[in-house]
Amino acid sequence: MIEQMRAEFGDSKDMVTEVLDNGFSRLELCFFPGMCDIVQVKDAILVPFSYRFDPDEFRRMLKTGLSFIESDEPKKWPEMLLKGCVLLQYEEKVYSFAAIRKMQKEPGNTEVEASLQGPQSSFTEDLDMNMYLLRLRYNVPSLTAEQLQKGELSGTRIMVVYDRLKVDGGSLDELHKRLDKIRPKLIQAAGQLAMFIGNTRFSMFPITLQTERPDRVAQLIQRGKIAILVDGSRFAVTLPVRFFDFMHAMDDDYEPYWMGRIIIFFRYLGMILSMTLPALYIAACSYNPEFFRVQLAFSIDGSRAAVPYPSFVEVFIMLFMIEALIESSIRLPRFVGSTAATVGGLILGQAAQQAGLVSSIMIIVTSVVAISNFVIPNSSFSYSIRALKYVFVLVATFYGMVGIIVAIFLIVVYLCHLRSFGQPYLAINLKRDQRQSQQSR
């Protein structure tokens, strides 16, 4: 076996191959120390084999031990080794012993979807830990998990989880179909998998929701949705989702009803502002100054007096600045991050306006756009909104106010047209319809 494995892995130096001989019998051992838990290997194999060797007991242990699996197929050996198993050959039989090294021992802290009073624990990068977190919160026998492996090179473990009493059959079939179809090389993150199964390359909006919160996944499963957990990613992909799910933060369910509604209302307002405000500025400046009341128009007029180029150039300059600032504060290491914010803030704030490069109203517009974009609870959705803003800016540059309204219409129709795994993306009162049609049938 050892020779075979050595040949297979091209004599890789991080693999340990050993032939142990305790005087009575021989044991061939082969494993990656980097991927295995050495303590487990010692306790389960080395100690019984060396210090307390009893041939009968050792044989019994190999036969009945939970983590020892006899494997006759040499083809599967490399795969097992790569998963972190130890291969051992004893008395001409090959066994694998799962001593997979675990990085995570406890749940993580929420980082992307922080919550004030909700649970603070989040998924980790370990699939088994995540399953534990999920089962802890959704503790019924009907919770079903299907395990798959995807990725030709990464061989990532994937868990499809749903409540089989509540799940929507159509969506599940659709998901299986798509999962069968995809042939990715590497799967590194849940988002990547979501891309593959969601055809999101052509879509302006995400049709699956990624979350790091076990409570959110539990809630979605309870509503009949499907969650996909990916090994090595601290995010779960849930589907099918609706437009409204993206604007929902878990805190809304943990706070008093009306407070939650008001906050949700502000969130939608923020979304609309962040999409349309730069476009409205262009429309108000260049096409329809009579749209707004006299006093406001004169304020805009006065503040634009020093700006030497048309409004859309101004908007593009400022939007580029703010996007660059946001990107840099995400990518930069923490220590430098604050520097970027300070420099950016100074330039965006006073200097650009005093130099007459942008109007003071444009600065307000820019900051409102940036801030209200952060109000959106889901980051992939907020990316969509950030991108859509430019569609609006473009239309407003050429058509003014009407362009904006037509664009709103188109986006509504487009959202209604989208389907997330067979389910409508944007539709209201759908539950009632279903109930009604069931009653009347």
Note whether 431 binds other proteins by CB under 8 A. Answer: no
Type of residue found at 149: Q
CB of 412 to other proteins, least distance (A): 5
In the list 61, 204, 326, 347, the residue contacting other proteins (rule: CB under 8 A) is: 204
Query: Which residues within the stretch 233-292 sit at the binding site for other proteins (CB under 8 A)?
Result: 284-292
In the list 16, 20, 297, 347, the residue contacting other proteins (rule: CB under 8 A) is: 297
Query: Which residues within the stretch 308-327 sit at the binding site for other proteins (CB under 8 A)?
Result: 310-311
Note whether 303 binds other proteins by CB under 8 A. Answer: yes
Note whether 302 binds other proteins by CB under 8 A. Answer: yes
Note whether 7 binds other proteins by CB under 8 A. Answer: no
Note whether 64 binds other proteins by CB under 8 A. Answer: no
Select from 41-49, 248-256, 334-342, 388-396 the region that touches other proteins (CB under 8 A). 388-396
Is the distance from CB of 208 to CB of 238 less than 8 angstroms?
yes
Q: Would you say 116 or 412 has its CB closer to other proteins?
A: 412
Backbone angles phi, psi at 230, to 5 degrees: -115, 130
DSSP 101: P
Note whether 391 binds other proteins by CB under 8 A. Answer: yes
Chain centre to alpha carbon of residue 37 = 29
In 39-142, beta strands by DSSP E: 68-70, 85-90, 93-98, 108-109, 121-122
Note whether 380 binds other proteins by CB under 8 A. Answer: no
| Burial of residue 367, with CB atoms counted within 10 A of its CB: 0-12 exposed, 13-18 middle, 19 or more buried | middle
Query: Which residues within the stretch 346-365 sit at the binding site for other proteins (CB under 8 A)?
Result: 360
Note whether 403 binds other proteins by CB under 8 A. Answer: yes
Counted residue by residue, the chain has a size of 441
CB of 302 to other proteins, least distance (A): 4
**CA-closest candidate to residue 90, choices 51, 124, 121, 61:** 61
Note whether 440 binds other proteins by CB under 8 A. Answer: yes
CB of 256 to other proteins, least distance (A): 26
In angstroms, the CA 209 to CA 220 distance is 10
Buried b (16+ CB within 10 A) or exposed e, 99-117: beeeeeeebbebeebebee
In the list 306, 326, 357, 368, the residue contacting other proteins (rule: CB under 8 A) is: 306
In the list 299, 328, 367, 379, the residue contacting other proteins (rule: CB under 8 A) is: 299
In the list 24, 244, 268, 298, the residue contacting other proteins (rule: CB under 8 A) is: 298
Select from 64-72, 139-147, 212-220, 395-403 the region that touches other proteins (CB under 8 A). 395-403
In angstroms, the CA 132 to CA 126 distance is 10
CB of 178 to other proteins, least distance (A): 13
CB of 265 to other proteins, least distance (A): 13
Note whether 436 binds other proteins by CB under 8 A. Answer: yes
Is the distance from CB of 318 to CB of 348 less than 8 angstroms?
yes
**CA-closest candidate to residue 88, choices 26, 19, 29:** 29
In angstroms, the CA 426 to CA 441 distance is 25
Find out whether the peptide bond into 240 is cis, omega within 30 degrees of 0: yes
Buried b (16+ CB within 10 A) or exposed e, 247-264: bbbbbbeebeeeebeeeb
Q: Is 163 helix (H, G, I), strand (E, B) or coil?
A: strand
CB of 299 to other proteins, least distance (A): 7
Note whether 395 binds other proteins by CB under 8 A. Answer: yes
Note whether 181 binds other proteins by CB under 8 A. Answer: no
Tokens of 123: 């998924």
Handedness of CA 134, 381, 408, 419 (dihedral sign): negative
Question: Which residues sit at the interface with other proteins, rule CB under 8 A?
Answer: 202-204, 284-307, 310-311, 360, 391, 394-395, 397-403, 405-406, 408-410, 412-417, 419, 424, 426-429, 433, 436-437, 440-441
